[in-house]
Structure 1
Amino acid sequence: MTNTDNFFKVGTIVNTHGIRGEVKIMAITDFAEERFQKGASLFIDTKQGRVPVTVKSSRLHKNAWLVLFDGVSNINEIEKYKGDDVYVEGNSRPELGDDEYYYDEIIDSEVVDLSGNHIGIVKEIMTTGANDVWIVKREGQSDALIPLIDDVVKEINVNDKLITIDVLEGLLD
């Protein structure tokens, strides 16, 4: 993989779709509609380097985005990118409001309880509709599911990658 400084992963090309060159992208961004809108500039991260692409069209289909890039007219031109990650350049990320965070600011953050005891590391984020759920990897235990709600998540420090939660009864069972 190439250097990703100032580039942020927004998804992975998991498959092709049809014969016209569409790809199926599993998005990992809160801004999927914006990221994959017509005219959006993206970068496919390949073993040979980063390939700039422009979105020609996109649509949401079964929890994935079907995207066609400019200049691609058939499956043979795009199949080689299957499994590659898709990035956006950092300076094209919009500023977020207070209490809003990009996934990459949360992933790999340490989670501690109110007393500062280590619980685990955020390894993945699930978007459930009502609120996000953080999947926290714990040593020697099953993963914990932490809902992103005010009653549980008390402090998020993106600079130190440290999240403090209130462990409500049953939360870590």
Structure 2
Amino acid sequence: MNRKPSSSPRSKKQTAGSPVEGEPVFVAVGFLRRPHGIHGEMLMDVLTDFPERMKPHRQLFLGDSHEPVRIEKVRWADQSMLIKFEGMDDAEALGRFRNTVVYVLADQLPPLPEGQYYHHQLLGLRVVSDEGQFLGVLEQILETGANDVYLVHTPEDKEILLPAIEEVILSVNLEDGEMVVHLQEWA
């Protein structure tokens, strides 16, 4: 199974998405660390597989309140991005955004090739074995390097770890909210 592009902070507070049914879904794409310099730039850790989409005039949303802002300019600084928002020129005032998650609307994400999914699309899916047994709900995705690992919470309050590989993940049906898996027999 193809690696899924990340849509959540790896070690930061995980607050992407919307807790209320019917509200817009937000996906984390960055983490503002601190103001940089005196011209209104912020140092941002990039949490998206599509950093090229961070362009001037793009709308982003800051923090748990999803405050709307627009990008004025961006530039790279080593592994981080320096980002400036339109109308925000005071470096001191930007301090309120220190350690803040940056979001985009999920429906504005680029489409992925068939068989690939964003993490936020998979979280919450019902997981069923290829024998029809309900196993639980996909609650977390662990990024291990070689392949992702899906953590499924069972009705018995246990956890099942499933490697995101073709031999295990047989199908994903987003419309039905279901993932069919083949449980491996480990000797």
TM-score, structure 1 as length reference = 0.70
Partner of 2:133: 117
**Which ranges of 4 or more aligned residues in structure 1 deviate by more than 6 Å?**
1-4
1:67 CA drift (Å): 4.1
**Gap regions ≥5 residues in structure 1:** none
CA-to-aligned-CA distance 1:89-109 (integer Å, 9 cap, x gap): 345322222112122210111
Query: CA 1:168–1:59 in 2, change beyond 3 Å: closer, same or farther?
Result: farther
1:56 CA drift (Å): 1.6
| Counterparts of residues 15-164 of structure 1 (less than 5 Å) | 15-16=33-34, 21-25=41-45, 27=47, 29=48, 31-35=49-53, 37-39=54-56, 41-46=58-63, 50-54=67-71, 55-58=73-76, 61=79, 65-71=80-86, 75-82=91-98, 84-138=100-154, 139-141=156-158, 143-164=159-180
- Report the Cα distance in structure 2 between the residues aligned to 1:125 and 1:145, rounded to whole angstroms: 9
Partner amino acid, structure 1, of 2:51: E
**Gap regions ≥5 residues in structure 2:** 1-17
Query: CA 1:49–1:157 in 2, change beyond 3 Å: closer, same or farther?
Result: closer
Query: CA 1:153–1:50 in 2, change beyond 3 Å: closer, same or farther?
Result: same
Q: What SS is found at the alignment partner of 1:78?
A: helix
Kept after mapping to 2: 8 A contact 1:57/1:69: no
**RMSD over aligned Cα atoms:** 3.4
- Report the Cα distance in structure 1 between the residues aligned to 2:26 and 2:65, rounded to whole angstroms: 18
Q: Does 1:169 align with 2:178?
A: no
TM-score, structure 2 as length reference = 0.66
Q: What SS is found at the alignment partner of 1:133?
A: strand
Q: What SS is found at the alignment partner of 2:92?
A: helix
Kept after mapping to 2: 8 A contact 1:16/1:75: no
- Report the Cα distance in structure 1 between the residues aligned to 2:162 and 2:19, rounded to whole angstroms: 32
Aligned length: 164
- Report the Cα distance in structure 1 between the residues aligned to 2:59 and 2:78, rounded to whole angstroms: 17
- Report the Cα distance in structure 2 between the residues aligned to 1:23 and 1:104, rounded to whole angstroms: 25
Give the % identical residues: 20
CA-to-aligned-CA distance 1:50-71 (integer Å, 9 cap, x gap): 322315224573xxx5442235
